[in-house]
Amino acid sequence: MTTSWSGRRSRSARTTLPERSTIRDAVARVIAGVSEPHAMAVELSFFEDLPIATVAELVNRRFGETQQTPMTEDNVYKIRERFRAALRSELPDNPFEL
C-alpha cells in the first residue's frame, strides 16, 4: 500500500477497491431477488442499523396482514445473513468485511 507525504493513499492503492457503482448494483440485484418484507428487514437492520427487535416489529406492522407468519427476531438475523452471503457472492473480490 502506497502512502503519500500527506498521509493519503495513492491512486494505485485505491484501484483494488470495488467502484461504488459496482457495490450499488450488487446490492440492488440482491434486494431485487427478495420479497418486500425481507427487503425491508435488510434495509432497516443492515443499512439503518436498527435493533433486530425493532426491525421485526416494524416489518410486522407494515406487512402483518399479508404474511402467513409474523416476522421474528430470528427471521431478521437469518435474512441479514442470507443478504450478506448473497452480496459476498455478487462481489467475490470485495476486500470489505460484510
Supply the CATH number for residue 68's domain: 1.10.10
In a domain, 75, yes or no: yes
Q: CA dist 86 to 21, 32, 90, Å?
A: 17, 12, 6
Query: In Å, what is the CA distance from 91 to each residue of 11, 34, 49, 60?
Result: 21, 18, 21, 31
* Count: domains in the chain: 1
In tens, the pLDDT along 55-91 reads 999 999 999 878 888 999 999 999 999 999 999 888 8
**DSSP-based three-state secondary structure for 3:** strand
* DSSP one-letter string for 14-27: HTTSPPHHHHHHHH
Query: Which residue range(s) make up the domain with 38?
Result: 18-90
What are the phi and psi torsion angles at 3 (to 5°)?
A: -120, 135
pLDDT for 6: 45
Per-residue pLDDT band for 4 (boundaries 50, 70, 90) equals very low
Terminal Cα-to-Cα distance of the chain (whole angstroms): 22
Identify the residue with better confidence: 51 or 12: 51
